[in-house]
Amino acid sequence: MNRCDFFSIMQIITKYISEAKAPNQSELIYQLFMEFANEHEDFDFDQGRVNRWLKGKDGVSPTIIRFYLQDGYAQYLAADI
């Protein structure tokens, strides 16, 4: 049985992006969380943090999670995916 967590989902997504079109890790996360990034310009998507998220070593920031848990905000995430 496979886990369904951020790491697993990102593995699937990146598997289907061609290497020629693949953005770097920070740009990929920025595009994924674009609505959050637009509303929280002061949030730092630093490479170390993003790398830990994509490798499954850390969970996604609770600030981002709370943002998308607000009523109607999951639609923004779905649109950006």
For residue 67, the enclosing domain spans 6-80
Q: How far apart are CA 23 and CA 59, in angstroms?
A: 21
Q: How many domains does the chain have?
A: 1
Q: How far apart are CA 48 and CA 57, in angstroms?
A: 11
Q: How far apart are CA 60 and CA 62, in angstroms?
A: 6
Decide if 1 is inside a domain: no
Decide if 17 is inside a domain: yes
Q: Find the length of the chain.
A: 81
Tell me what the mean pLDDT of segment 47-56 comes to. Answer: 91
Is residue 3's pLDDT more than 70? no
Decide if 28 is inside a domain: yes
Decide if 50 is inside a domain: yes
Do residues 53 and 6 lie in contact, with contact meaning Cβ atoms separated by under 8 Å?
Answer: yes
pLDDT band at 43 (very low <50, low <70, confident <90, very high): very high
Q: What is the pTM of this model?
A: 0.80
pLDDT band at 42 (very low <50, low <70, confident <90, very high): very high
Tell me what the mean pLDDT of segment 19-28 comes to. Answer: 78
